[in-house]
Chains A and B, each alone.
Chain A
Amino acid sequence: MNARLHWRKFLSAFMLTMTGVCALISVSVLFFILGYLVYHGGASISWNFFTKLPAPVGEAGGGMANAIVGSGKLLLLATLFGVPIGFFGAIYLAEFSGGTTAFIVRYAADLLNGVPSIVIGIFAYALAVLPFKHFSTLAGGFALGLMMIPITLRSTEEFLRSVPKALREAAMALGASKWKTITSVIVPAAYRGILTAILLAFARVAGETAPLLFTAFGNRFWSNGWNQPTASLPAMIYTYAIAPYDDWHRQAWAAGLVLLGLILIINIVARAILSRGIAVPRA
Chain B
Amino acid sequence: MHATVRPAVSVKIPPVVTGAINREPASALSMRMTISKVNFFYGAKQTLFDVNLGIATNKVTSLIGPSGCGKSTLLRTLNRMHETVRGARLEGEILLDGQNILAQDVTAHRRRVGMVFQRPNPFPKSIFDNVAYGLKINGSKTPIAEAVEKSLRHSALWDEVKDHLHKSAYELSGGQQQRLCIARALAVEPEVLLLDEPCSALDPISTAKIEELLVQLKDICTIAIVTHNMQQAARVSDFTAFLLTGQLIEFSPTPQLFTTPGDPRTEAYITGRFG
Hey, which bits of chain A sit against chain B, CB under 8 A? 164, 166-177, 180, 184-185, 188-189, 277-281
Contacting A174 at CB < 8 Å: which of B122, B124, B133, B169? Answer: B133
Q: Are A279 and B185 closer than 8 Å at their CB atoms?
A: no
Q: How far is the CA of A189 from the CA of B137 in the complex (A)?
A: 17
- Please give, as numbers and ranges, the residues of chain B lying within 8 Å of A174 by CB-CB distance: 110-111, 114, 133-134, 137, 184-185, 188
Sample (6) of A-B pairs whose CB atoms are under 8 Å apart: A169-B81, A170-B122, A173-B81, A180-B137, A189-B123, A281-B170
- Best-surrounded residue of A164, A175, A185, A189 (most CB of chain B within 10 A): A175
Say how far B181's CB is from chain A's closest CB, in angstroms. 7
Q: A188: which B residues are within 8 A, CB to CB?
A: 124-125
* Residues of B that sit less than 8 Å from A by CB: 79, 81, 84, 107-111, 114-115, 117, 119, 121-126, 133-134, 136-138, 168-170, 181, 184-185, 188
Inter-subunit contact A172/B133 (CB<8 Å): no
A177 B107 Cβ-Cβ under 8 A: yes
Q: Chain B residues with Cβ under 8 A from A189's Cβ?
A: 123-124
Tell me which residues across on chain B come within 8 A of A169, comparing CB atoms: 81, 84, 115, 117, 121
Task: Say yes or no: A173 contacts B123, CB within 8 Å.
Answer: no
B110 & A173 in contact (Cβ 8 Å cutoff): yes
CA distance A189 to B234 in the complex (A): 39
Q: Which 7 residue pairs spanning A and B have beta carbons closest together?
A: A175-B111, A166-B121, A173-B115, A174-B134, A175-B110, A278-B168, A278-B124
Q: Are A164 and B121 in contact (CB under 8 A)?
A: yes
Q: How far is the CA of A180 from the CA of B79 in the complex (A)?
A: 18
> Are A278 and B133 neighbours in the complex by a CB distance under 8 Å?
no
A172/B123 in contact, CB under 8 A:
no
Q: How far is the CB of B115 from chain A (nearest CB, A)?
A: 4
**Known contacts A184-B137, A278-B170, A281-B170; A173 and B124 CB within 8 A of each other:** no
Q: Given the complex of chains A and B, what is the CA–CA distance between A212 and B238 in angstroms?
A: 74
> Are A176 and B121 in touch, CB under 8 angstroms?
no
* Seed contacts A176-B137, A184-B137; 7 additional CB < 8 Å A-B pairs: A171-B133, A173-B81, A175-B110, A175-B188, A180-B137, A280-B124, A281-B170
Across the interface, do B185 and A173 meet the contact criterion of CB distance under 8 Å?
yes
Tell me if B184 and A279 are in contact (CB < 8 A).
no
Within the complex, the shortest CB–CB distance from B224 to chain A, in Å, comes to 13
A174 to B136, CA, bound (A): 11
**What is the bound-complex CA distance between A188 and B125, given in angstroms?**
9
A167 contacts B121, C-beta separation under 8 Å: yes
A185 to B133, CA, bound (A): 10
Q: Least Cβ distance of A280 to chain B in Å? A: 5
A173 and B79 contact, CB distance less than 8 A: yes
Residue of A nearest to B133 (CB): A174
- Asked if B133 and A184 make an inter-chain contact with CB atoms under 8 angstroms apart, the answer reads yes
Which of B79, B108, B109, B123 interacts with A170 by CB under 8 Å? Answer: B123
B127 CB, nearest partner CB in chain A, Å: 10
**B residues within 8 A CB of A185?**
123
Q: In the assembly, what is the distance between CA of A7 and CA of B114, in Å?
A: 63
Residues of B within 8 A of A277 (CB): 124
Contacting residues, chain B, for A172 (C-beta < 8 A): 81, 84, 110
Cβ contacts under 8 Å, B133 to chain A: 171, 174, 184
**CB-defined contacts of B115 to chain A, threshold 8 Å:** 169, 173
* B125 contacts across to A, CB distance below 8 A: 188, 278
- Which B residues lie within 8 Å of A171 (CB)? 123, 133, 137
Q: Whole-angstrom distance between the alpha carbons of A177 and B138 in the complex?
A: 10
